[in-house]
Structure 1
Amino acid sequence: MEFISVYSKEQYEYIKESREVLFEFCKTISPEDFVNQNSSFGRGGSIRNLLVHITNTYQYWIANLALKKNVIYSEYENFKTIQDVIILFTTVDDFMFEFISKMDYFGDEISYKIQNVKHSTKPIRLFSHVITHEYHHKGQILSLSRHLGYIPVDTDIMR
């Protein structure tokens, strides 16, 4: 099953390309709108907060649970601009590539605890969870931008 890491690395590169399209779009959003909180959207309801929430999910599932790191979750307020968020995502990329490089060696299951309850899952399931979670919130970011008066861009992998 050594192909899993090769396939996952390629897929994550596509995700990064799509994310870059979103980042370029976010650079056109005013600084005020970037942090403007809308209670209709979860996780703090701003574009900035949703982006930081995405990184926190990668930090939780991949860095802390799978790789057993002790990454401290990012606080929304520490990221004022899209450039700050882009830098934060480079740290996510670093541990994602570490995780991907180890996918073939984790064995069948990764064990972890949530609220003192033991769980286990396949590495590919963790990978799938964090990337689909990112796309879910990417859709919210684009919808939120429309509410703010912007015309969203196509961030699909196939554009």
Structure 2
Amino acid sequence: MDIFSKQYELVKGSRGVVLNYCAQMSPEHLNNAVPNFGQGTIKATLLHISNTYISWLSKFSLQKDEYFPSPEEVNGLEDIIKQFERANQAVTVFLTSFSDSDTLISGLKHGVDLNLSVTELFTHVTTHEFHHKGQIMSMGRILGYTPPDADIIRF
């Protein structure tokens, strides 16, 4: 399980680059819809990422009661960072709750009975973040910002 913790540190480093990039944007650009992107705004996309960690790793996997704020309840980047702190806590609790990456976790999600391994769940939430990170970089470029290199290995 230690490898997942190490991987997540790399993910958080990349996320930090994205959040610093977003900190350069005006509040209007964080909150205004960019056409043809699933979550609509950069703020909503960031919130969706953090909510996904909490949904899968805490609510689904550990059956914890969780609250998911809407984009309207989140005022700015400071609130987004707080949501990512919640996501980080969900990852920590998830990784310390299981000793075997092949452990299967069963539950209902979107009306479907699922049996997923710790590895599948961790991989899902981290690759999901990187998928949306690419969208955020594209949205920022459309809004006139030059995206930084936010890969795990940066040059």
TM bin, normalised by shorter chain, reads: over 0.9
1:104 is paired with a residue whose SS is coil
1:35 touches 1:80 (CA, 8 Å); kept in 2? no
TM-superposition CA deviations, 1:122-156 (whole Å, max 9, x none): 11100000000000000000000000000001110
Correspondence list, 1:109-124, <5 A: 109-124=104-119
CA separation in 2, counterparts of 1:145 and 1:103? Answer: 38
- Please state if 1:32 is matched with 2:60: no
Runs of 4+ in 1 over 2 A off after TM superposition: 105-108, 114-118
Segment drifting more, 27-36 vs 102-111? 102-111
Q: Percent identity?
A: 36
Q: 1:117 to 1:140 in 2, by over 3 A?
A: closer
Letter paired with 1:35: N
Structure 1, unaligned stretches of length 5 or more?
none
RMSD between aligned alpha carbons? 1.4
- Deviation digits for residues 22-43 of structure 1 (CA, Å, limit 9, x no counterpart): 1111110001101111231112
Q: Which has the larger displacement, 146-155 or 109-118?
A: 109-118
CA distance in 2, matches of 1:70, 1:114: 14
Please name the residue that 2:93 is paired with.
98
How much does 1:67 deviate?
1.3
| Amino acid in the other structure paired with 2:59 | N
Hey, what's the Cα distance between the residues in 1 that align with 2:87 and 2:121?
14
Q: How many residues align?
A: 154
8 Å CA contact 1:64, 1:71 repeated in 2: yes
Mark the CA change 1:115 to 1:20 in structure 2 (over 3 Å): closer, same or farther.
closer
Report the TM-score when normalising by structure 2.
0.94
> Which of these residues, 64, 82, 88, is aligned with residue 83 of structure 2?
88
Residues 40, 66 of structure 1: alpha-carbon distance in 2 compared, 3 angstrom cutoff: same
Instruction: Specify which of 128, 136, 145 is matched with residue 141 of structure 1.
Output: 136
Alpha-carbon separation, structure 2, partners of 1:123 and 1:36: 36
- Please, which moves more after superposition, 11-20 or 117-126? 117-126
Q: How does 1:1-159 map to 2 (within 5 A)?
A: 5-43=1-39, 45-104=40-99, 108-159=103-154
Q: How big is the shift at 1:115? A: 4.6
1:56 counterpart SS class:
helix
Provide closer, same or farther for how the CA distance between residues 96 and 147 of structure 1 changes in structure 2, counting only shifts above 3 A.
same
Question: For 1:74, what is the secondary structure of its paired residue?
Answer: coil
In the superposition, the TM-score normalised over structure 1's length comes to: 0.92
Residue by residue over 1:65-87, the C-alpha shift from the partner in whole angstroms, topping out at 9 and shown as x without a partner, is 00110112121111121111011
Is contact 2:54-2:86 (8 Å) kept? no
Secondary structure at the aligned position of 2:2 is classed as helix
CA distance in 2, matches of 1:25, 1:115: 33
Q: In the TM superposition, what is the alpha-carbon distance from 1:106 to its structure 2 partner?
A: 7.6
